[in-house]
Amino acid sequence: MNIIIESLQQFMQYTGIANITLPHFIMICIGVAFITVAIKKDWEPLLLVPIGFGIIIGNIPFPSGLQIGIYEEGSVLNILYQGVKQGWYPPLIFLGIGAMTDFTSLISQPRLLMIGAAAQLGIFGAYIAAMHMGFTPAEAGAIGIIGGADGPTAIFLSSKLAPELLGAIAVSAYSYMALVPVIQRPIMLLMTTKKERLIRMKAPREVKQREKIIFPIVGFILTALIVPSGIPLLGMLFFGNLLKESGVTKRLAETARGPLIDVVTILIGVTVGCSTQADVFLTATSLKIFLLGLFSFIVATVGGVGFAKIMNLFYKEGNKINPLIGNAGVSAVPDAARVSQNVGREFDKNNHLLMHAMAPNVAGVIGSAVAAGILLSFLG
C-alpha cells in the first residue's frame, strides 16, 4: 500500500499540475485568446488557430530530460521546429504564395511597385527605434522586419539574425497581420482628404499570358542579382508564380498552393506557438518587440499612403492614384488590399479598389523579401 502511495506521489511531481506557474498560466490564456479571436472574429484563423494551440502545447510544464520540450534536442517538437529554426519553412510557404498569387494587377500598373517599396519604410523605422532601445543591430534588423507584415519573411530573417527572439517576433508579426484592419484604417483616414478617398482609378489594362510568364523570370533574375541574400525567398516566390502561369505545370502549382502550403502552415503555426514557452517568452524584451512591431506597422502604413500622395503630385487628373491603396504596400496578402476596398467603399459605394490595391500588396511581398535580403547581407 505504501509503495502505491509513494509512487503516486512521485508521479504527481511529474504532472503539469504540480509544476504549473503563473507565467505558464498566462501563456495558456493567451493561447486560448488567439483561438477565440480566430473563431469569433475570423481574424486569420488559418494562422491563429495553429499558433494559439501551439502556445498551449508549449506551455504545459513538463519535467526536463524526457525529450519532450521544443528546445530539447531530438524531441519530436524539436525536429519539427528545425524548419523554423533553420529557416526552411518560409521559402516553402513562399513557393505556395507564388503559386496562388495573381500578379496581373501589378503587371498592368507597374508604377504601383513604388508603393510596395515605400511601405518597407516600416521595417527601417522600427530598426532605428530598436537600435535606440538598446537592441544589437542584428536583433534590431530581425525586429524591424515585422514591419514587412510578412510572417514567413519575419521568421526567415529572425532565424538567421536573432534566433532567441524568433518566437516573439513571429507571434508579433502574425498578430499584427490579423490586426491590419484595426491598425491601418485610422491612419488611412487621418492621412487622406475626402476628395482623395473618392478618386476613381483607371481600370487596369488587359495582361497577356506571355507577360505573365515573363514576369517571374525577369523579376527573379533582376531582384536576385541585386540582393543575392534574398534568393531563398525570392526564388521560391517567383518559381511558384511561374508554375502557376506557365500553363503546363498546373498539377505542380496546385500542390504548391494547396497541400504543400497547408502542411507547412500547420507545422510553422504549431511550432512557432510552441516556441513561446513561458520561461523564454514572458520577458520585458518580448513586450518591447510587440511595441516595436506595432510601431513598424504604423510607419509602414504611413509610408505607403504618404508615398501614394507624393506620386499623385506627378500624375494628371484622371490618372491619379487613390491613396487609400497605399496601406496595401505592406505585404499581408490579401488582407491589406481588403482594407483598402472596405475603406474605399465607406465613402463611395461603387468605388472598388480591391484589384488596384492588389498591385502594391503583391509588390509589398517582393519589397519585404528584398528588404530582408539586404538586412541579412548587412547584419548576418
Partner 1 sequence: MNILSILENDPHGIIITVVSVSVVFAALIILYFAYTLTGKLVNWKTGKPAKKRSRRKSADNRIHDNESYIITIKREYTPASHNASSHGTAYDKGPDAQTGGAQGGNITAPLPGTMTAVLVKPGDRIREGQTVAILEAMKMENEIQAEVGGTVKEVNVSKGDSVLEGTIIVTLR
- Of 132, 194, 195, 251, the residue at the interface with partner 1 (CB under 8 A) is 132
- The CA distance from 178 to 43, in Å, is 5
Q: 357: exposed, middle or buried (C-beta count within 10 Å: 0-12, 13-18, 19+)?
A: buried
Site string for partner 1, 300-339 (x = CB under 8 A): ------------------x---------------x--xx-
Per CB under 8 A, which region of 124-132, 166-174, 262-270, 286-294 contacts partner 1?
A: 124-132
- The CA distance from 197 to 325, in Å, is 10
- Of 3, 203, 284, 313, the residue at the interface with partner 1 (CB under 8 A) is 203
Complex with partner 1: residue 110 or 258, whichever CB lies closer: 110
**Which long-range CB contacts under 8 A does 108-111 form with residues at least 24 apart?**
108/204, 108/205, 108/206, 108/207, 108/359, 109/204, 109/356, 109/359, 111/311
Find, among 218, 210, 220, the residue nearest to 245 by Cα: 210
Site string for partner 1, 138-167 (x = CB under 8 A): --x---------------------------
Question: In whole angstroms, how close is the CB of 279 to partner 1 at the nearest point?
Answer: 30
- Of 178, 269, 341, 365, the residue at the interface with partner 1 (CB under 8 A) is 341
CB 336 within 8 A of CB 305: no
Site string for partner 1, 204-223 (x = CB under 8 A): -xxxx-xx--xx--xx--xx
Question: In whole angstroms, how close is the CB of 140 to partner 1 at the nearest point?
Answer: 6
Q: Is 44 left (phi over 0), alpha (psi -120 to 50) or beta?
A: left
- Of 16, 63, 110, 134, the residue at the interface with partner 1 (CB under 8 A) is 110
SS3 305: helix
Alpha helices in 162-230 (DSSP H): 166-178, 180-191, 194-197, 209-226
- The CA distance from 380 to 156, in Å, is 12
Under rule CB under 8 A, which residues in 229-258 are in contact with partner 1?
none
Q: Which residues contact 248 (CB under 8 A, 6 or more apart)?
A: none
Question: In whole angstroms, how close is the CB of 214 to partner 1 at the nearest point?
Answer: 5
Q: Which residues contact 87 (CB under 8 A, 6 or more apart)?
A: 155, 156, 159, 160, 232
Q: What is the total count of residues that contact partner 1 (CB under 8 A)?
A: 60
121 binds partner 1 (CB under 8 A): yes
Per CB under 8 A, which region of 183-191, 274-282, 292-300, 365-373 contacts partner 1?
A: 365-373
113 binds partner 1 (CB under 8 A): yes
65 binds partner 1 (CB under 8 A): no
- For the chain, the C-alpha Rg in angstroms (whole number) is 22
Residue type, 243: L
Site string for partner 1, 22-41 (x = CB under 8 A): --------------------
202 binds partner 1 (CB under 8 A): yes
Complex with partner 1: residue 189 or 214, whichever CB lies closer: 214
Q: Name the DSSP class of 86.
A: T
Per CB under 8 A, which region of 2-10, 115-123, 249-257, 277-285 contacts partner 1?
A: 115-123
What percentage of the chain's residues is helix, strand, coil (to nearest 5)? 75, 0, 25
Per CB under 8 A, which region of 65-73, 131-139, 150-158, 287-295 contacts partner 1?
A: 131-139
108 binds partner 1 (CB under 8 A): yes
- The CA distance from 111 to 362, in Å, is 13
Binding site for partner 1 (CB under 8 A): 106-108, 110-111, 113-114, 116-117, 120-121, 124, 127-128, 130-132, 137, 140, 200-203, 205-208, 210-211, 214-215, 218-219, 222-223, 226-227, 318, 334, 337-338, 341, 345, 349-352, 354-355, 358, 363, 366-367, 370-371, 374-375, 377-379
